[in-house]
A = this chain, B = another copy of it.
Amino acid sequence: MSKELIGAAIFGQSGGPTAVINASAYGVIKTALESPNITKVYGAAHGIKGVLQDKLYVMDEEDPKELELLLHTPSSELGSCRYKMADPEDDDTDYKRILEIFQKYNVRYFFYNGGNDSMDTCNKISRFMAKSGWECRVMGVPKTIDNDLFGTDHCPGFASAAKYIATSCMEISKDARVYDTGMVTVIEIMGRHAGWLAASSALATYYGSGPDLIYLPETNFDMDEFFAEVDNQYNKDHQVLIAVSEGIHYADGTFVSEAKTSATDGFGHAQLGGLAVRLADEIKHRIGVKVRGIELSLLQRCASHSASQTDIDEAFNAGKIAVESAVNGETGKMVAFERDMSSGSYVCKYNLLPLEAVANYEKKVPIEWIKEDGTGMKQEFIDYVLPLIQGEPEIPREYSLPRYAHLKKVLAK
């Protein structure tokens, strides 16, 4: 164990929220509050913006019972941001301001919870503090429903979104097939560059009823092949359920959702609405059948009522281990997950990765887990995702509705 470092800690949440990012917050805050080396625990309002604006909530003032409710409270309770910091070599204004705040509150620990961009922010802050001679241990806590963080088997937030998507697709599949008249239903699922979430809809197909066709951004989309597939499927039983990743694109890289009108592969009829509605509309015009477009929208990333207990536990542990590791001398690292199947069943191991190895890379769905014709997932993907969605949390409720954390959010002076 390295030299003891005594001082305050700041924790911040960044990027798009998830169903379990607050479970990581609780892991960090609880562990930090219990650590004898950490004198005070601050939560940054809206991530790094809160540090820059000197808007820090004093976590020591919160009721421990309310903090515990963070385990089941969706979204980013402290507020989030999408704030891209300049390279300190180009412009170090923000970094100097952060140093000023760190000195003002004697901050010796900084924990940042987010995805690719946030790990980049973490990394830059870590390097700047080292250069400035202000001893501060910086740790990244992973988070993203997109599951595209490099160096970790999976990311907290992904599994709960995957479980919600699979469950919703099972329900929609039941509902969409209820009449004996034909129907094509298109479900749009988040994921701009990686198709992990859309792929998870295959769980519904494997374990009940789900999409007949699934399209990911890992392969090139071809509108004519798509219509041929839909037609083929429709002729089989007059019911087609399709799941598409929002990021599907043509071979030239153009997103299907942004493609302009064209005779062969664009949208001739739609001017507004998401990808699902536009694809459904195009099917109606080309094949002439009844259609419905459904966008899972924000629901898929904030559905804490349908979270995976495995995901909640791992999200909490990621936060906890970040704090414990920092107190033990680590810095400039992100907590990463490793899948250990040596016992015959899934065990999650926690590792530390250098931040620069993680920042700004994107992990995609392995192409060999996708069916050769690009319309669905192979068993390998199911084997990957199934252990992650296990376990139903006991949701704290009042009047049979979820009871979320009510934090006081007392500002530091």
Residues of chain A whose beta carbon lies under 8 Å from any beta carbon of chain B: 17, 45-46, 49, 73-76, 79-82, 163, 166-168, 170-172, 174-180, 185, 203-204, 207-209, 269-274, 277-278, 281, 292, 294-295, 297-299, 301-306, 308, 386, 389-392, 395, 397-404
Whether A172 lies near B299 (C-beta < 8 A) is yes
Whether B400 lies near A171 (C-beta < 8 A) is no
| Residue among B271, B273, B295, B301 making CB contact with A175, cutoff 8 Å | B301
Q: List 8 A-B contacts (CB under 8 A).
A: A17-B178, A45-B180, A81-B180, A175-B301, A207-B401, A272-B278, A305-B306, A391-B400
Residues in B whose Cβ lies below 8 Å from that of A17:
174-175, 178
| Given A46-B180, A299-B299; A400-B271 close (CB under 8 Å) | no
Whether A171 lies near B299 (C-beta < 8 A) is yes
Residues in B whose Cβ lies below 8 Å from that of A386:
399
Max chain B Cβ within 10 angstroms of own Cβ: one of A176, A208, A400: A400
| Residue among B207, B269, B304, B398 making CB contact with A399, cutoff 8 Å | B207
Q: Which residue of B lies closest to A298 (CB)?
A: B175
Q: Which residue of B lies closest to A269 (CB)?
A: B272
| Residue among B79, B269, B392 making CB contact with A397, cutoff 8 Å | B392
| Protomer copies | 2
In the bound assembly, the distance between CA atoms of A389 and B305 in angstroms comes to 15
Whether A298 lies near B176 (C-beta < 8 A) is yes
Closest-CB distance, A361 to chain B (whole angstroms): 25
Closest-CB distance, A81 to chain B (whole angstroms): 6
In the bound assembly, the distance between CA atoms of A171 and B22 in angstroms comes to 13
Residues in B whose Cβ lies below 8 Å from that of A397:
392
Whether B174 lies near A401 (C-beta < 8 A) is no
| Given A73-B174, A272-B271; A208-B278 close (CB under 8 Å) | no
Max chain B Cβ within 10 angstroms of own Cβ: one of A49, A80, A295: A295
| Given A178-B17, A180-B49; A163-B400 close (CB under 8 Å) | yes
| Given A175-B17, A272-B273; A294-B302 close (CB under 8 Å) | no
In the bound assembly, the distance between CA atoms of A174 and B301 in angstroms comes to 11
| Residue among B172, B204, B270, B298 making CB contact with A294, cutoff 8 Å | B298
| Given A392-B400, A401-B167; A174-B75 close (CB under 8 Å) | yes
**Additional 6 contacts, C-beta under 8 A, given A163-B401, A167-B402:** A81-B179, A81-B180, A170-B404, A208-B404, A292-B297, A392-B397
| Given A176-B298, A179-B81; A208-B171 close (CB under 8 Å) | no
Max chain B Cβ within 10 angstroms of own Cβ: one of A49, A79, A178, A402: A178
Closest-CB distance, A177 to chain B (whole angstroms): 8
Closest-CB distance, A363 to chain B (whole angstroms): 24
